[in-house]
A and B are shown apart, each in its own frame.
Chain A
């Protein structure tokens, strides 16, 4: 089956893409929504423009649609992007990286149902620690590109998701109620390498922006 991946460049959508390929589906395109609203309900914003570099090293075409990121209106923009992917690449299904968010998942389901497309959410309801451990086992290289909750600060930016990170997240969960995989929006991630990439991406420049417990990185990749 030909599918398109709803792709943010973070760990969840990239891992969904990886599982899709592993199960023998043909990934015809990545679909990314660039939101002008940092508080977007649907679409994650830090490093979203890095999807261009990621798509390039995966050798998969990219469909990009911009949205103002206003609640519900951004869904129309998502539908427009999916329609374009159907027209240009003949996709028959959509794959998302939704894990816990019923808001996100049900809206994607509705759009796909209206367009008569299959909708797959391979990470749906997955345990957060299990997800992090899977990513490490499958040799994903992921860094934090933004942090948005107490007690995170700018020192967490660029930190790798590795065994030590998982250990620390377990403690953060116990002490501060942080979702270990950032499911509550506590942090966003950027994938620098996974088995779908033909080469590793490197951060060659980074600018840190933010205050208190809300920080993000603007980066250049090579």
Chain B
């Protein structure tokens, strides 16, 4: 059972950032339940096999102020995938700092090693004003080239983070994560 975590402050954000992930799981007959980060409890973490933390809109950074509500990430021993804002939160929990950089639309990114099925040059969809530089975080390996970390994985844990939105053009990445 996958737990999908909604980090959007705005109700309309659900349709844009959470619903597409739910659809991918539904289309692949993968069981899931969805909760807002404010309502995630110990029982939810216990009954989930994996967790996907979705992204949010460019202006919605409320979740960053609620970092304490994501403390569980540090102790969770099952796979986690953070998308955009979700990845930023993973970085913050492991001691990273938020930096500003706006990227909107398709960008070509190079994945130097295979990452959840992605390798080489890929056109990915970006929608962010901030990022966390994982290059300085010892615990993480960065799989993309360039100044901004696009795809990372914890060296010892199954914690993944992507800054781009795989629900737009790399839907298989999400399915691959669910099958880990």
Contact = CB atoms under 8 A, between A and B. Distances in A.
Contacts of A119: 57-59
Given A102-B125, A120-B57, A1 B15 contact: no
Interface string B1-45: 000000000111101100110010001000000000000000000
Given A109-B58, A125-B23, A120 B129 contact: no
19 contacts: A19-B15, A23-B11, A25-B11, A102-B105, A109-B58, A109-B105, A109-B127, A110-B104, A113-B58, A113-B59, A113-B102, A119-B59, A120-B13, A121-B15, A123-B15, A124-B20, A126-B20, A127-B27, A130-B23
B168 interface: yes
B105 A20 contact: no
Interface string A105-148: 01001101100111111111111001000000000000000000
Contacts, number: 68
B59 A116 contact: yes
Contacts of A110: 104-105
A109 B128 CA distance: 10
Nearest to A124: B16
Interface of B: 10-13, 15-16, 19-20, 23, 27, 57-60, 102, 104-106, 125, 127, 129, 167-168
Contacts of A102: 105-106, 125, 168
Q: Which 3 A-B residue pairs are closest in the complex by CB-CB distance?
A: A106-B105, A122-B15, A125-B20
Interface residues on A, range: 20 to 34
Contact of B60 (A118, A121, A125, A126): A118
B36 to A, nearest CB: 14
A119 B129 CA distance: 13
A127 B105 contact: no
A122 B16 contact: yes
Contacts of B27: 127
Contacts of A178: none
Contacts of A127: 23, 27
A110 B59 CA distance: 12
Nearest to B169: A102
Interface centre among A1, A116, A117, A122 (most CB of B within 10 A): A122
A109 B104 CA distance: 7
A25 B168 contact: no
Contact of A126 (B19, B106, B129): B19
Contacts of A130: 23
